[in-house]
Structure 1
Amino acid sequence: MAIRGNLSEASLADVLQLLALGQKTGCLSIARDGSFGTIHFADGRVVHASIVNRRDRLGDRLVRLGAVPADALARLAAHLPVQDDRELAKALLDTAQVDRDLLLHVHRTQVEEVVYHLFGWTQGTFTFEPDDDLTVDPPLFSVSADSLLLEGARRVDEWSLIEKKIPSFDLLFEIDSARVQAREVPLSEEQERILPLLDGTHDVHAVMERSGLSEFDAGKAIYGLLSAGYVQRVGRSAARRQSPPESRVAEHRNLGIAFYRTGMLDEALREFRRVLELREADGVSRFHVGLVHARRGEWPEAVATFTRASREPDAPTAALHNLAFALEQVGDPVGAARALEEATRRSGTMPDPRIALSRATLALQAGELAVADAHLAEARAQWGARQPSAAWFHAAGLAAAVAGDSRRALAILEEGLAVYPHVVTLHNNLAVVHERRGSYELAARTLEHALLEDANCAHLHKNLGDYLYRGQRYDDAFDAFVRVVRLAPSHGPDVHLKLGNIHYRRGALDDARHAWEQALALDPGNRIVMANLSALPQPATAAGGINDADPVIGVVEGARADEDVLAAFGAP
């Protein structure tokens, strides 16, 4: 279960202590205006931490230490799927380009300093998302949260004093050579390292980068020199006062993407809009604004945003793909088909199988089975040696079932479940195919297996109840329908109708009346429900017990789960 809060109400130290005591595994995201950081946990211990757009990455440190040549590092980083320090560290270890002990020491020190920096954030929001997959790939190291808490508290106290003299990293300092030469107290190692850099031309940022010191160590060293009168402030760096536009655009865009990926939609929207204020034609940021609207279900706004984003020269093909999905949601399948056709044209020699899959889904909804099959075959060919997505197996199984080829539908869905055993929709649709082939017990067992994956899916309980009801296992069906009502009271009149039927069979006439009244409230024109209610006052029917042959009691078939359509946003 996710944990959310505000740093003004619970400090980061409190949150870390809570996660450590609970031995949690997952990712803690911390956001404040203009900054975003993450801390990863495995069994309550810190295994990684990073801050978006933060200087001094792992590779930078290793290059400064002479542990790896800059060109070799650049070649290795270019082949990594994501620019992540953890991935870089693993790649360096795999290629034996860096001494393992040195790499782990540098990487651990970097992570610790990120956490210490985050301790200074007293405003903003935090979100913890559990993720047991972190334990699948063992971390390179782990750090006790207790040790970080103690050192972090000390640093926060010291930094509150340091920032009074160094309120900004764009400040310039210059040494007083005479006083330094006449000093009687030796300088620390850090002070000796930065002293030559304090020449009135290097600001604090530059001092940190050139010295290789962390923000805390450099700030502490300068603070000591200032207090002793060895250096003095001489101004600000002009380059820092006015950042280059490209760097500002990239900073806000990166923050927006980080916020979006962790579900912090308000913060993501704010950063993407800041990018558009600086550069109105930024297609990537406008595309992500559309994604935020889509995640919120704001479909008209999503249509407008994706339409404009698709016109920008740097907009990803996914802008058109998502435009098609948004148009479909507002009831414009013709416009959706045009958008998908244009997306196919733009993708050129690098086709995206998800676009062909979406075209198949549209054709399927329009009843064009031959066209749907052609696009499904096209999508599978584009996946090549890779396995198609779960959505492809869903759509292909549905197409075969609608065409009446239950044997082919069965084979497709079983193949899909072999690849995606935890996808509930595939289990659900397989149960429907079993039911259409007359295998009611097998359908029920398939649904029971699906419920082990998601016990809170009302639709699964509904279909299971339908199969049990047809098999005259009324007590088991009753339990399934009761769960549907608890999870989704307005799921459909059919659930309340069948609950009323079972109550009637049990002789619980008041309960039957209540259930049928609920069904009638959901479907006022349901003739079977009205007939059942009108039959209740007849004494002979009530006194005579349950009459299975009584034509008044009707049975309505349940809704088909295989009519549900999986839909996924295109990746940027």
Structure 2
Amino acid sequence: MAMKGTSDEASLPDIIQLVAQGKRTGVLSVTNRKDFGDIYFRDGNIIYSNIVNSKFKICDILVKAKEISKEDADRVIEMQKANNYEKRIGEILIEEGLISEETLRKYIKKQLEESLFTIFNWNNIYFNFEPNIEPPSDLEIVSMRPEDVLLKIATRIDEWDLLKDKIPGEDTILTPRKNFDISVLEGREREIFKLANGERSLKEIYQIAPYTKFEVSKIIYILLNKKALLELGKKNARNNETMLKVEEHKNLGIAFLKTDMYEEAIREFKTIIAQDKQNAEVYFYIGLAYHKKGQLKEAGNYYQKSLNINPKNTALINNFAVLLETLGQYNRIEELYKKALSFDVNNKLLIANLGVFYFKTGKYEDASELLSEAAAEDQKLIFPLAYLAEYSLMENKIDSAISFLEEILERNKKIPDVYYFIGKLYLRKGDTPKAEENFLNTIEIDSNYTNAHIELANIYYKRGKFTEAKEHLSMIIQLNGEEFDSLFKLGNIYFKERDFENALKNWEKALIFDPNNTTLRKNIRLLKEQLKAK
């Protein structure tokens, strides 16, 4: 189940502890509407964290710490790209003999802690937890207990609160005091002292220093107190500090878009358009944001603007076709898909979407051909198989439908709906054991899947497996509230088990939902007479 809200409703530490206590796996996205970060969990432990547009990348950290050179970092990144991201950066660094596994783990933890420390210092946050989402496979991960991380960060935040008002602003230029005796400084103090050359701002020192911002701030505070450094004035930035570069606006916009924060996404993208009115990609993203918001007219306008600039954008054409279908404007859809395919003939997503369009407009044979082609040649595509299963059912080919649905599970074993529908089809075939197996798989993935509990309760009730039937009937009531069928069956089970008090209790509750049920009224009357006779 997803969780979302603001810091007014729950603090970030509270949310993290809630995820940890539930041993959840997923991603907690956090934003203060200017910056955006992700915190990934696996079985309740924190395994990765990242901030959009940050420098908390493992290679950046290793270069900054002088563990590897910039040239080696660039070479390793290129090797990862050439390997199609099948290996993690850290794995390549170790294979190349550039660092040890111990060093890698040390800096991955540092990366995680720095990212979290930054996120914890944001105010007025919005959070959104999405379950069962893992970080990209090419990223470095480590497992840390949330309580350990929270304690460490809380201590640092307390120190930072005392420190942050005692150091100058990041735009302040720092210069060494003339004739200062550097011999009185310790190792790290000397390093930072040398970086303050009378031209660099504090922000620039943070960026190039081989230590964290927090560590550098403590050293700057010491150097200022020792009168080793002096404030020279403010650095005039060419752009306002609040104005991000175009790429940073785009990254933030995409991050907001992924977490359904459409207004914020549109704001970031429109900032780019103000500077670059020929950016087809950004017009596309604005159209996509409006599309997801349900403002279809605006979406169409921005899609069209993007298409005018880049008529060969197949992703745009695909989205435009979906939008036109939503608007019921079918006359242009086939033309759009075929146009996109003329630019990208092997795009299986486009082929599949054209197949879906044919399916929805009754051209079933053409649809089947295209959907089969897309599903066979792109193992990541699942939805074509669902349509092929539906087409099989239309032709009363149950075995074929089951086969297509089971092929979906070969590609993704974690879709409860698919197990449920396969179970229903096996019931139609009269194969109750197979149906039971699939319903059990359904609730193994999603224990709150009510319909699967209903089917299992019916199966066990008919078999006389009353212990199992009671378990599922109780779960149905817990999920959906009390209703006639579950209460009536529970009453019957208790009666057969000679637990007459619970039988009467459940039957009387059932009667509330169907007061004219003569069979039930008779059962209650006879049971009461039986109990009275005792």
Match of 2:386 in 1: 394
Aligned to 1:359, the other structure's residue is in SS state helix
Match of 1:74 in 2: 74
**Cα distance in 1, alignment partners of residues 381 and 339 from structure 2:** 22
Name the amino acid aligned to 1:415: E
**Cα distance in 1, alignment partners of residues 211 and 98 from structure 2:** 23
CA shift at 1:103, angstroms? 1.7
In structure 2, relative to structure 1, the CA distance for the partners of 1:71 and 1:366 (3 Å cut) is same
**Cα distance in 2, alignment partners of residues 204 and 292 from structure 1:** 37
Q: Deviation string for 1:315-361 (max 9, x for gaps)?
A: 8522211221121122122222222222212325xx32111111111
Name the amino acid aligned to 1:125: Y
In structure 2, relative to structure 1, the CA distance for the partners of 1:13 and 1:380 (3 Å cut) is closer
Match of 2:154 in 1: 153
In structure 2, relative to structure 1, the CA distance for the partners of 1:119 and 1:328 (3 Å cut) is same
Name the amino acid aligned to 2:247: A
Aligned to 2:309, the other structure's residue is in SS state coil
Pairs within 5 Å for 1:429-444: 430=422, 439=430
Q: Is the 8 A contact 2:176 2:230 kept in 1?
A: yes
CA shift at 1:286, angstroms? 3.1
Q: Is the 8 A contact 2:256 2:265 kept in 1?
A: yes
Match of 1:287 in 2: 284
Aligned to 1:128, the other structure's residue is in SS state strand
**Cα distance in 1, alignment partners of residues 209 and 73 from structure 2:** 20
Match of 2:126 in 1: 125
Partner residue of 1:258 out of 255, 259, 268? 255
Partner residue of 2:323 out of 326, 330, 337? 326
Match of 2:109 in 1: 108
Match of 2:502 in 1: none
CA shift at 1:47, angstroms? 2.7
In structure 2, relative to structure 1, the CA distance for the partners of 1:78 and 1:487 (3 Å cut) is farther
Match of 1:26 in 2: 26
In structure 2, relative to structure 1, the CA distance for the partners of 1:446 and 1:120 (3 Å cut) is closer
Aligned to 1:190, the other structure's residue is in SS state helix
Match of 2:358 in 1: 363
Pairs within 5 Å for 1:442-461: 448=439, 452=443
CA shift at 1:250, angstroms? 0.9
Q: Is the 8 A contact 1:8 1:122 kept in 2?
A: no
CA shift at 1:451, angstroms? 5.1
Match of 1:55 in 2: 55
CA shift at 1:166, angstroms? 4.0
Q: TM-score scaled by structure 2?
A: 0.74
Pairs within 5 Å for 1:474-489: none
Q: Please, which moves more after superposition, 49-58 or 446-455? A: 446-455
Q: Is the 8 A contact 1:283 1:315 kept in 2?
A: no
**Cα distance in 2, alignment partners of residues 394 and 19 from structure 1:** 33
Q: Give aligned pairs, total.
A: 486
Q: Deviation string for 1:211-258 (max 9, x for gaps)?
A: 31211122222222223333222223334645798x611111111222
Aligned to 2:68, the other structure's residue is in SS state coil
Match of 1:373 in 2: 368
Aligned to 1:168, the other structure's residue is in SS state coil
- Superposition RMSD on alpha carbons, in Å? 4.7
**Cα distance in 1, alignment partners of residues 9 and 185 from structure 2:** 41
**Cα distance in 2, alignment partners of residues 456 and 267 from structure 1:** 33
Q: Is the 8 A contact 1:333 1:362 kept in 2?
A: no
Q: Is the 8 A contact 2:312 2:343 kept in 1?
A: no
Match of 1:549 in 2: none
Residue 222, structure 1, aligned to residue 220, structure 2: yes
Q: Is the 8 A contact 1:39 1:49 kept in 2?
A: yes
CA shift at 1:128, angstroms? 3.1
Name the amino acid aligned to 1:27: V
CA shift at 1:104, angstroms? 1.6
Q: Please, which moves more after superposition, 88-97 or 104-113? A: 88-97
Match of 1:187 in 2: 185
Match of 2:268 in 1: 271
Name the amino acid aligned to 1:34: K
Q: Is the 8 A contact 2:89 2:138 kept in 1?
A: no
**Cα distance in 2, alignment partners of residues 146 and 432 from structure 1:** 44
Aligned to 1:326, the other structure's residue is in SS state helix
CA shift at 1:6, angstroms? 2.6
Gaps of 5+ in 1: 489-494, 496-507, 516-572
CA shift at 1:443, angstroms? 9.2
**Cα distance in 1, alignment partners of residues 84 and 193 from structure 2:** 34
Name the amino acid aligned to 2:47: V
**Cα distance in 2, alignment partners of residues 380 and 228 from structure 1:** 69
**Cα distance in 1, alignment partners of residues 402 and 388 from structure 2:** 10
**Cα distance in 1, alignment partners of residues 146 and 380 from structure 2:** 41
**Cα distance in 1, alignment partners of residues 89 and 23 from structure 2:** 27
Q: Is the 8 A contact 1:300 1:330 kept in 2?
A: no
**Cα distance in 1, alignment partners of residues 112 and 512 from structure 2:** 65
Residue 354, structure 1, aligned to residue 349, structure 2: yes
Aligned to 1:250, the other structure's residue is in SS state helix
Q: Please, which moves more after superposition, 302-311 or 14-23? A: 14-23
Q: Is the 8 A contact 1:431 1:442 kept in 2?
A: no
**Cα distance in 1, alignment partners of residues 95 and 73 from structure 2:** 13
CA shift at 1:63, angstroms? 2.7
Q: Is the 8 A contact 2:89 2:140 kept in 1?
A: no
Match of 2:497 in 1: none
In structure 2, relative to structure 1, the CA distance for the partners of 1:138 and 1:261 (3 Å cut) is closer
In structure 2, relative to structure 1, the CA distance for the partners of 1:24 and 1:391 (3 Å cut) is closer
Name the amino acid aligned to 1:368: K
Name the amino acid aligned to 2:390: L
CA shift at 1:363, angstroms? 0.9
Q: Is the 8 A contact 2:40 2:134 kept in 1?
A: no
Percent of counterpart pairs with the same letter?
25
In structure 2, relative to structure 1, the CA distance for the partners of 1:300 and 1:390 (3 Å cut) is same
**Cα distance in 2, alignment partners of residues 421 and 129 from structure 1:** 18
Residue 176, structure 1, aligned to residue 184, structure 2: no
Gaps of 5+ in 2: 463-468, 486-509, 518-534
